[in-house]
A = this chain, B = another copy of it.
Amino acid sequence: MRSNRSQYAVLGLLAGGPRTGYEIAKEISTVLSHFWSESDGQIYPVLHGLARAGLADVEEEPGAPGRRRRRYHITGDGREALADWLGQAVQPLPPRHELLLKLFFGRHARHGELAAVIRAYRERAIHAARRLSSLASAVQSEHGEESDLAFWLLSIDFGRASLESTIRWCDRALDTINGMEGYE
């Protein structure tokens, strides 16, 4: 009973207006990129599925092959299915935190390598936090009037808060590990 989340990601975008597969792929990899991703080849099968299930209608735009477009429109059933899913509690995923797994097995690592892994993780978090900050200002200036601005900013805020918490943890972890290695 797992929940086709790709389908709802696409359906949610369609709820904001008709789109082609290509536009959806681009939107996911730009607008949603800091909390969602889909692989390229995934969008089209999902759109076919939505159409088959009656959650979206296809509008064929004629054109030469390699240039024809299919624009998808959400249906009433589609809006209902989306609202149903939005109202359901988030499904907790089984945890799989690779950094913590490596930390847990840390005493089997080669000397200094665990600390290096944590430092690299910390660096990435810092870069990601910086990117989110500039995204926040871009969003605020470019989309200042849209109704879902607040939701967008909240999603960015979540990312920033959890990255900051991660960075602080990395500092604590590095302190601990340095202390341990001092006694070796």
Show the binding face of A for B, using Cβ within 8 Å: 5, 8-9, 12, 15, 32-37, 39, 79, 82-83, 85-92, 94-110, 113-114, 116-117, 120-121, 124, 147-148, 150-152, 154-155, 157-159, 161-162, 164-166, 168-169, 172-173, 176, 180
Contact = CB atoms under 8 A, between A and B. Distances in A.
A107 B176 contact: no
Stoichiometry, as copies per complex, reads 2
A102 B114 contact: no
Contacts of A32: 101, 104
Given A12-B101, A32-B104, A169-B157, A109 B86 contact: yes
Contacts of A117: 86-90
A150 B164 CA distance: 22
B100 A36 contact: yes
B148 A106 contact: yes
Nearest to A161: B165
A152 B5 contact: no
Nearest to A15: B108
Given A86-B114, A157-B172, A176-B154, A34 B95 contact: yes
B155 A103 contact: yes
Nearest to A176: B150
B176 A97 contact: no
Nearest to A121: B90
A2 to B, nearest CB: 12
Given A154-B172, A169-B158, A86 B100 contact: no
Contact of A83 (B5, B79, B91, B110): B110
